[in-house]
Amino acid sequence: MRTPFIAGNWKMYKTVAEAVALVRELRGMLDGLEGCEVAVCPPFTALAAVREVLSGSTIRLGAQNVHWKDEGAFTGEISPLMLRELCEYVIIGHSERRQHFGETDEMVNKKLHAALAYGLKPILCVGENLEQNRAGETEAFVSAQVRAAFAGLTAGQASQITVAYEPIWAIGTGVPATGEGANAIIGGVVRRTLAALYGDEVAQGIRIQYGGSVKPDNIAEFMAQPEIDGALVGGASLKASDFAAIVRNGLAAKAGK
Ligand code: PGA
């Protein structure tokens, strides 16, 4: 049984003071919740302060990016050696990083290797854009992204990774995929590719989230699907009541309620 996992990607939102206030509220609403792992991924600048607020909490902490070297002359970058002091998870290969900051499959693969070497748990993002979707290229594209990302990783390493399937056309648009549509790609493409790489048993153990315009009123549609193990939530994770509602509604749907 895969434990459901819902993570909030705060993107470039929240000052330190705002982040602390948000996570205090979230702690009040979600602390101690059972049956679902919950994580927040604030900007780097807020990690230390949020970590302090979350001390002793069941809410986990993640970063949004990482470099693949442990140190060096890489102005503006943050290494896995630095992150491991602060957080447990790290988002890798988000489409915004691929689109706006030129991250390639090769860089994503290096980041995964580095994060895992330092004991960080990656949330790997994959997903097709609108053009690819319309051209019927989703399956081939997403499968290739998964293969490139996991290149050279052992089954043991692969098992530490959560994959987030996030169709780019659904991110921040208010136009989510359908539960069935996302389930088909997550099961039929992402998990199937992982099974081809590592065998069925390993693939069955890897958590795969859906991401893209997840809201309190549509999370149940995704979580009710057998292949979808959670969500990566952007915009709706910036408001405590919305994120808490997503977690609660998602958990209820997974439990068949
Ligand atoms: P969204 O973002 O929920 O605002 O669509 C999701 C993401 O980018 O991870």
Among protein residues, the one with the nearest Cα to ligand 1's atom 7 is 234
- How much is the pLDDT for 10? 98
- pLDDT tens for each residue of 205-224: 999 999 999 999 999 999 99
Give 176 Cα–ligand 1 centroid separation in angstroms.
10
pLDDT tens profile 45-65: 999 999 999 999 999 999 999
**Which atom of ligand 1 lies at the shortest distance from residue 125's CA?**
9
What residue owns the CA closest to ligand 1's atom 2? 234
Is 166 labeled as catalytic in the residue annotation?
yes
Q: Which of 214, 218, 219 to mutate to test the pocket of ligand 1 (most atoms within 8 A of CB)?
A: 214
- Taking a C-beta distance cutoff of 8 angstroms, is the pair 22, 30 a contact? no
Closest-CA residue, ligand 1 atom 6, reads 234
The distance from CA 29 to its chain's CA centroid, rounded to whole angstroms, is 21
Q: How far is the CA of 253 from the centre of ligand 1 (A)?
A: 20
The residue-averaged pLDDT of 143-162 equals: 98
Radius of gyration of the chain (CA): 17
Residue 134 identity: R
pLDDT score at 1: 82
* The pLDDT value given to residue 207: 98
Q: Which amino acid is at 175?
A: V
- The mean pLDDT value for 134-147 works out to 98
All structural domains of the chain, each given as residue ranges with its CATH number in brackets, are 5-254 (3.20.20.70)
Q: Cα(254) to centroid of ligand 1, in Å?
A: 21
Q: Do 246 and 236 meet the contact criterion of CB atoms below 8 Å apart?
A: yes
Q: How do residues 163-175 score in pLDDT, each as one tens digit?
A: 999 999 999 999 9
Best mutation site among 9, 10, 96, 100 for ligand 1 pocket (most ligand atoms within 8 Å of CB) = 9
Share of the chain above pLDDT 70, in %: 100
Is 133 a residue whose pLDDT tops 80? yes
How much of the chain, in percent, has pLDDT values that exceed 90? 98
pLDDT of residue 242: 98
Looking at the CA of residue 236, tell me the nearest atom of ligand 1: 3
Going by pLDDT thresholds of 50, 70 and 90, the confidence category of residue 176 is: very high
Nearest atom (ligand 1) to Cα of 212:
5
Question: From the candidates 67, 94, 221, 227, which is the catalytic residue?
Answer: 94
Task: Indicate whether 257 pLDDT > 80.
Answer: no
CB 91 within 8 A of CB 9: yes
- CA pair distance 174, 230, nearest whole angstrom: 18
Structure pTM?
A: 0.98
Find the residues whose C-beta lies inside 6 A of ligand 1. Answer: 9, 166, 171-172, 211-214, 232-236
Dihedral Cα 71, 11, 184, 178, nearest 10 deg = 180
Average pLDDT in the chain: 98
- pLDDT mean over 94-100: 98
